[in-house]
Structure 1
């Protein structure tokens, strides 16, 4: 079973652009409870994308690795842990 997940990024610090190591990810805008609807973004062949809700500019950087971001604080880690046996 694969444990890969879709990375989630936010722009709580309000930076002009976020470099990400994934071309497919979710933008949540700001940190909860001020997040916007979580938007799936797929860059496809492009190397950048803009979130349609918050206008955060994302730029792909393969050197960062899957799920990483620059600035690193823009990676969102959910505090909710789901019980797979539930």
Structure 2
């Protein structure tokens, strides 16, 4: 996995479902400092997964123009 960046997502908006264009990612629950332990999720051959910590539902959608919808749910690295 060297050289491979895993995207992180949060659910500060409180939406029931976050659609993703990736199947491997980290769920943080919320933005720091209110985040939960970062949970690695690999959907494998499935098209949806639920975070075991915060129960956010993630659904794979290869047709998304961006990495996630809503786009505000992507946690970007601090500069």
SS at 2:25 equivalent:
strand
**Ranges of 4+ aligned residues in structure 1 off by more than 2 Å:** none
Please, which runs of 5 or more residues in structure 1 have no aligned partner?
Answer: 81-86
Q: Look up the match of 1:59.
A: 59
| Cα displacement (A) at 1:4 | 4.0
Alpha carbon RMSD of aligned pairs, Å?
A: 1.7
| Cα displacement (A) at 1:20 | 0.5
Please, which runs of 5 or more residues in structure 2 have no aligned partner?
Answer: none
Q: Which one has the bigger strand percentage? A: 2
In structure 2, distance between residues paired with 1:68 and 1:55: 20
1:16 aligns with 2:9: no
Larger radius of gyration: 1
SS at 2:59 equivalent:
strand
Counting matched residue pairs gives: 78
Measured against aligned partners, the alpha-carbon deviations of 1:2-40 in whole angstroms (never above 9, x if no partner) come to 854111000000001000010000000000000000000
